[in-house]
Amino acid sequence: MNAISVSALIAAFVTTSLSIAVLIRERRQAQHFIYAILCFTLSVWNLTYFLSEVTDAPTLKMLNVLLTVFLGPLTLHFILSIMKEVGERHLKSIFPAYIGAIFLGILALFLLNNFPIIAAILDLYALGCVLFALALIWNSINHLDEGRIIKNWKYIFWGGVVVAATALTDFLPKTGIQFPAIGNILMVIYLYFLFQYISKGRVFEFEELMAKVVHFAVIVLTLTIIYLLLVSWVGNKSWLFVFNTGIASFVILVLFEPIKSASEKFTKKFILRGQTTLQPQIEKAVSHMIGVVDIKELSDKILSSFEQTFQSEHAILFLLDHAGFKFILRGESGEPVSQIKTILSNDELVEQLTQFPDPPLILDDLCQARAELPIGAERSKLDSLARHGEQIGVGIIYPILLDNKLLGFCGFKISAFFSHHQLALFQKITNQFAIALKQIEGYQRILQRDRLASLGEMAAGLAHEIRNPLGAIKGAAQQLLPPQEEGFIPLEVQNELLNVIVEETNRLNHVVSQFLGYARPYNQKREKASLNEVVIKTVDIVSKDLPEGVALSYNCNPYLKDIEIDPEQIRQVILNLLLNSIQSIENKGSVAIQTDIENGSQRIIITDNGCGIPEDVKGKLFIPFFTTRKGGTGLGLPICQRIIQAHSGLIDIQSEIGKGTKVTLLLPYKKNEKARNY
């Protein structure tokens, strides 16, 4: 047994492990299966070599030779599977490569014993396929722009060259030239980093590579020494060997974590110096987020951490809205270049962030990966992601995840180069941001609960005080309804006015009842009604007391069908929103209301060119008792929200200071449906 045989046995075990590791992944693609087959073939190839050297069995030697010829086509097939654009052009070369391997295998099966030179021909054929695969990689390197993708391919290319060269040196001892048996060991290391590439979409940076090598070497060396000290001296005493092996295993279990921790500290201090420099800034930013209870302050902190840590030129923050249907731009630093203010929750960017295994998402890498793809669904997806990056003005995006739920995402644009390992450190800040965000939501729920409790107390007293005069007004009006002698005002006019009084009194009494039941589910009286008629009647009421200088217009879609709603409640919502718009105009401007159809639901849009709503107020609009208007109760919009939600609908408010406000109501056709996202 020689050194090459031992290294072959080690390579057999490791390649088997890599084959199993890639097959038990959750998401597998064609390249993963080809890699697994390649590793398994290498495992059997090395194992048959080891056994043939130990036993000198001709059958094992024949099997080893036959497997050799298939290693070349499998390597070529794997390279083509990970280089999509090259793979499309050279896909036809895989089939002839396998046919050639099968032909040579059959030839060797019958003629190898008589013509030993056939074994050398098989070796040359396998080597030729490997060199052709390396040539394809080199060609891609020369035709793509510099970037992280090219850096990855250079690592893969030069690693392949070194492995191919050292594999040839394993045959030198057979010619009488002594050379260390390192071919199998380097092959295993190379396969491990190919495994990293197909798993994470990248290979390690040089610093990461050296850190991993030192880290593994320290752990393996330490554990080996422990075994040698406790097991090597026992000799032929089998009981002592078993006992000391158990003691050694126990000692290793005890010391493994401390050794691992010490090794990580060593590599971070002396090899990953960039990480050591960034670590204090990351920890400082994380500590500043603890205890923050204001979402605006928290957003400012994460954006400022981008500037302090990576000297970002531009940074953005998108957070999931309360309804969970879209992500809204909550913060932006640097020059405001983001062209997108909202991104739907089913967007391709959101899907990519949710599924991406190794954050952050570097859009430059995706753009270069796009060049390797043929025209099709995958390339279109990367095109869409690239456009998103341009529209929001960033190149690196981090998901904000908590319990595997995407709460938002943030990103920045930088001109300096940082390794993937350094960029990944920032994920600690986004993790703390997610925790702080959840704590703020809990804090706000407590505040709302307390306000609801005080609302119940206030509503009882308010309802009592208002219902007494309402009852008197209603009783007096009803006494006047019977015909009387004609007076100064015609009887018909009196009756009409009195009917209006009774109708409005009933409506006010209804509103007060709903106000009293704000903290409870609404008792609706749904019926088939025309949304257009509800809008027109409400506009007629508002138009009678319209201030001078204010124009109110409406545009109703004539194709709207009747919808299951409580007309009185929807009228109350529209009336409240129209009055808010009119008050924001300050007696000069216009208000427009229109109805439309959107994704199977009916939509009401109210727009004005008033003063707009400040950013710090937007998030508080639906909190009971919060008001910026003198004399306001702070209950108008919360009641509107409760009514719309009781109709399984959505309410959305978009506003910009100095330009106006747009309020959108979305209502489903039927009671048991929900309004779709818009």
What digits encode the pLDDT tens for the residues 71-110?
989 998 888 887 765 555 666 778 888 999 899 888 888 8
Chain mean pLDDT for the chain = 78
Copy the structure tokens of residue 262. 């010490």
pLDDT the model gives residue 481: 61
Q: Which residue has the higher pLDDT, 170 or 350?
A: 350
Strands across the sheet containing 550-555: 550-555, 589-598, 601-608, 660-667, 650-656
Copy the structure tokens of residue 408. 């938002």
pLDDT the model gives residue 553: 92
Which of 153-162, 225-234, 363-372, 653-662 has the least mean pLDDT?
363-372
What digits encode the pLDDT tens for the residues 502-533?
777 776 776 666 566 565 555 678 889 999 99
Q: Based on the domain organization, do 544 and 648 belong to the same domain? A: yes
pLDDT band at 39 (very low <50, low <70, confident <90, very high): very high
pLDDT the model gives residue 677: 45
Mean pLDDT value across residues 5-14: 85
Distance CA 119, CA 600 (A): 70
pLDDT the model gives residue 524: 75
* 450 in a structural domain: no
* 318 in a structural domain: yes
Q: What is the CATH number of the domain that holds 535?
A: 3.30.565.10
Is the distance from CB of 136 to CB of 174 less than 8 angstroms?
Answer: no
Question: Interior CA angle at 97 toward 96 and 100, to 5°?
Answer: 80
Q: What's the number of domains the chain is made of?
A: 5
Of 203, 233, 255, the domain-final residue: 203
Q: Which residue has the higher pLDDT, 661 or 305?
A: 661
pLDDT band at 137 (very low <50, low <70, confident <90, very high): confident
Q: Residue 589's closest CA among 661, 540, 537, 654?
A: 661
Q: Based on the domain organization, do 222 and 340 belong to the same domain? A: no
**592 has pLDDT over 90:** yes
* 264 in a structural domain: yes
Q: Based on the domain organization, do 306 and 376 belong to the same domain? A: yes
**555 has pLDDT over 90:** yes
What is the residue range of 258's domain?
A: 205-271
Distance CA 636, CA 634 (A): 6
Residue 553: which residues within 8 A CB-CB, separation 6 or more?
590, 591, 592, 593
Q: Is the dihedral of CA 48, 50, 51, 53 positive or negative?
A: positive
Q: Based on the domain organization, do 308 and 360 belong to the same domain? A: yes
Q: Residue 426's closest CA among 283, 289, 290?
A: 283
Residue 196: which residues within 8 A CB-CB, separation 6 or more?
202, 203, 204
Give the rounded percent of residues in the chain with a pLDDT score beyond 90: 10
598-633 as b/e, with b when 16 or more CB fall inside 10 Å? eeebbbbbbbbbbbbbeeeebbebbebebbeeeeee
**666 has pLDDT over 80:** yes
* 56 in a structural domain: yes
- Residue 410's SS3 state is strand
pLDDT the model gives residue 376: 52
Q: Which residue has the higher pLDDT, 370 or 118?
A: 118
* 567 in a structural domain: yes
Q: Based on the domain organization, do 261 and 330 belong to the same domain? A: no
Instruction: Say if pTM beats, i.e. exceeds, 0.85.
Output: no
Q: Based on the domain organization, do 157 and 214 belong to the same domain? A: no
Is the distance from CB of 515 to CB of 625 less than 8 angstroms?
Answer: no
Identify how many contiguous H helices and E strands the chain contains and give both numbers.
Answer: 22, 13
Q: Residue 638's closest CA among 470, 518, 537?
A: 518
Q: Based on the domain organization, do 322 and 341 belong to the same domain? A: yes
* 142 in a structural domain: yes
Which of 6-20, 136-150, 280-294 has the least mean pLDDT?
136-150
